Amino acid sequence: MGLEKSIQGFQQKALEELERVSSLGELEGWRVRHLGRKSPLTRALRSLASLPLEERRAAGAAANQAKAALESHFHRRAQELKEAQFRASLEKGSLDITLPGRPVVTGRLHPTTRILREICSIFQAMGFQVVEGPEVEWDYYNFEALNIPADHPARDMWATFWVDYTDERGRHPMLLRTHTSPNQIRVMEQTRPPVRVIVPGKCYRYEATDATHESMFYQVEGLAVDKGITLANLKGTLYEFARRLFGEDRQARFRCDYFPFVEPGMEMAIDCLVCRGQGCRLCGGSGWIEILGAGMVHPDVLRRVDYDPDIYSGFAFGLGVERIPMLRYGIDDIRLFYSNDLRFLRQF
């Protein structure tokens, strides 16, 4: 009977102490002292095995009853203290139900995504379809099929990330595409004219980054092939694109340039958005800003996809997407687009 009386004493002492607990922190300390692994009640339960059978039964029943009673009073006291804490916070005015809710910060589209969608919508309105292609590309599609064989000096125009791909048949040249032009070939291989597509996507160049260069950037490639397509169709399409994107009063200029997969090739420039052609720091004093490269699809490229260049002709163009918001918003560093700086992104 000694242990049974001790258990009853533990219970009485714990309940008296519980009534004096005035905070949730004190209540947790009480729980550890009287219900924890090192509490007198727990030690009493562990010592039951050493008692005679009859005394063990009585002491065990008393211990279980005491534990259940203490746990019940513990939960009751915890609820009382929580309610008292809540009432106190109301009385102090820390909870004002008339205050408006905190506004949820809404996300916005990345400036590159916004411009990309705008470009695609302009060309879609002119009858072009949007298609996509792989970012990890075969050498054939990225270079050879575009009139750039392995020994062609024009390969130096693209600093390339090469991928070492090997299977049971040996090593195969693959790369991270340097432009979206490979999709010209993929589309023409699977489609008979007429063809009118634009291809948005990421491109990769193995080069040092600075204010005007990034190793990863977005590009939009355009292609149109049909009977009777001329250079006038190319110039008219691109001029209309510039007017819809930059404003109805936009002026455009075309000058000869070289790209291996078009002949003739050209660059397109628009009058400077800042000085309106008068010359300033943004345009380098020329009054014009280049926005894309273009040209008539080379006959050899058409032959590779089994298009007869005596019957079909076409034009292609490509533009860097980040260049457009840089011109429109006066952004002077392309690295800002991928820095994840919220101070920059919140401006759009």
Q: Considering the candidates 158, 195, 224, 323, report the single residue annotated as catalytic.
A: 158
- 197 and 289 share a domain? yes
d(CA 147, CA 42) in angstroms, rounded, equals: 85
Any domain includes 61? yes
Count the neighbouring beta carbons within 10 Å of the beta carbon of residue 7.
Answer: 24
- 165 and 271 share a domain? yes
Asked if 205 is an active-site residue, the reply is: yes
Q: Considering the candidates 31, 177, 179, 298, report the single residue annotated as catalytic.
A: 179
- pLDDT (average), residues 190-197: 92
Any domain includes 289? yes
Per-residue pLDDT band at 121 (split at 50, 70, 90): very high
Q: Considering the candidates 187, 252, 316, 321, report the single residue annotated as catalytic.
A: 316
- 243 and 314 share a domain? yes
Q: Considering the candidates 31, 205, 298, 323, report the single residue annotated as catalytic.
A: 205
CATH of the domain at 201: 3.30.930.10
- 123 and 58 share a domain? no
pLDDT tens profile 261-299 = 999 999 998 887 767 767 776 667 777 888 899 999 999
d(CA 127, CA 234) in angstroms, rounded, equals: 14
Asked if 219 is an active-site residue, the reply is: yes
Asked if 225 is an active-site residue, the reply is: no
- 124 and 199 share a domain? yes
Q: Answer whether 139's CB lies under 8 Å from 173's CB.
A: yes
Any domain includes 100? no
Residue range(s) defining the domain that contains residue 27: 2-91
For CA atoms 228, 234, 236, 238, the dihedral sign is positive
Asked if 163 is an active-site residue, the reply is: no
Q: What is the pTM of this model?
A: 0.65
- 136 and 244 share a domain? yes
- 211 and 299 share a domain? yes
pLDDT tens profile 213-260 = 788 889 999 999 999 999 999 999 999 999 998 888 888 889 999 888
- 72 and 153 share a domain? no
Asked if 179 is an active-site residue, the reply is: yes
- 61 and 141 share a domain? no
pLDDT tens profile 4-23 = 677 777 778 878 888 888 88
Q: Considering the candidates 145, 199, 225, 262, report the single residue annotated as catalytic.
A: 262
- 184 and 81 share a domain? no
Q: Answer whether 242's CB lies under 8 Å from 268's CB.
A: yes
Q: Considering the candidates 138, 219, 242, 269, report the single residue annotated as catalytic.
A: 219
Asked if 251 is an active-site residue, the reply is: no
How many structural domains compose the chain?
2
Q: How distant is the alpha carbon of residue 191 from its chain centre? A: 32
